[in-house]
């Protein structure tokens, strides 16, 4: 029921699409004024970026909040090399999904794999990452499961570690896979503009 509800919200949203640089960029405007922007690989339909923006109580547009994809680095080009190196030493948390899994990468974690613990906190409906050496702790929710009102399943969770990066995967429930397939069918109905430069209109 909840899966259908979120899918209907997506269908009801005002949508515009733009094809640019091998990416299909889709902008959603919901009846409540919230905006969502997604970018898909043109060939594979893999989700590359999802971000949200809401208006303030006074009607002003807020900043885009990244849910999936690389966060923007404002002003990075003006930083000196030593400042960039210093900031890159901190753990960087990024979500990058695959077709079959929600996936998160935490970079700059040099500890061996047996130091990490990754589990589901059912009470808080989130994933918890901690290290036995107490050097790192993080908990995060899976917004997709919240929107579809689906339970978290510990058996769907796995992780790997390589090149100082902790890779956490959560296998997508079949309900999500079906809903994503239905959404792709819906997006094919949206008239898509083509552009070699510029960006998707989000105003």
87-92 own/partner pairs: CB under 8 Å, 24+ apart? 91/136
Q: Delimit the domains of the chain by residue range.
A: 4-69+89-193
Instruction: Write down the pLDDT at residue 192.
Output: 82
- Per CATH, is 4-69+89-193 categorized as 2.60.40.790? yes
Is the pLDDT higher at 96 or at 5?
96
Report d(CA 112, CA 18) in Å as an integer: 43
Instruction: Write down the pLDDT at residue 62.
Output: 83
Instruction: Write down the pLDDT at residue 74.
Output: 52
Give the strand order in the sheet containing 137-140: 116-121, 126-131, 137-140
Over residues 38-87, the pLDDT tens digits come to: 999 999 999 999 999 988 777 777 899 999 998 765 544 444 444 444 45
Structure tokens at 96: 């990058």
Burial profile 168-196: b = 16 or more Cβ within 10 angstroms, e = fewer: bbbbbbeebeebbeebeeebeeeeeeeee
Report d(CA 125, CA 105) in Å as an integer: 20
Over residues 112-140, the pLDDT tens digits come to: 999 999 999 999 999 999 999 999 999 99
Residues in CB range of 53: below 8 A, 6 or more apart: 34, 35, 36, 37, 61, 62, 63, 64, 65, 202
Q: What is the mean pLDDT of residues 4-10?
A: 88
Instruction: Write down the pLDDT at residue 197.
Output: 53
Cα separation values, 55 from 31, 59, 111, 125, Å? 12, 5, 41, 27
The predicted model scores a pTM of 0.83
Instruction: Write down the pLDDT at residue 76.
Output: 44
Instruction: Write down the pLDDT at residue 75.
Output: 47
Q: Give the total residue count for the chain.
A: 203
Cα separation values, 165 from 50, 57, 85, 105, 111, Å? 22, 39, 17, 6, 9
For the chain, percent of residues with pLDDT exceeding 90: 73
């Amino acid at each position: 029921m909840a899966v259908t509800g979120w899918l209907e919200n997506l269908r009801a949203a005002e949508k515009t699409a733009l094809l640019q640089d091998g990416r299909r960029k889709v902008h959603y405007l919901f009846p409540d004024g919230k905006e969502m922007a997604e970018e898909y690989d043109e060939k594979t339909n893999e989700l590359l970026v999802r971000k949200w923006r809401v208006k303030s109580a006074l009607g002003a547009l807020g900043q885009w909040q990244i849910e999936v994809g690389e966060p923007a680095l404002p002003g990075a080009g003006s930083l000196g090399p030593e400042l960039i190196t210093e900031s890159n030493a901190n753990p960087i948390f990024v979500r990058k999904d695959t077709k079959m899994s929600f996936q998160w990468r935490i970079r700059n974690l040099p500890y061996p794999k047996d130091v990490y613990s990754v589990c589901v906190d059912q009470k808080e409906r989130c994933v918890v990452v901690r290290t036995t050496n107490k050097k790192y702790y993080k908990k995060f929710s899976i917004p997709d499961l919240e929107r579809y009102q689906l339970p978290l399943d510990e058996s769907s969770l796995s992780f790997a570690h390589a090149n100082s990066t902790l890779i956490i995967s959560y296998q997508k429930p079949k309900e999500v896979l079906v809903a994503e397939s239905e959404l792709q069918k819906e997006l094919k109905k949206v008239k898509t503009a083509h552009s070699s430069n510029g960006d998707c209109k989000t105003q």
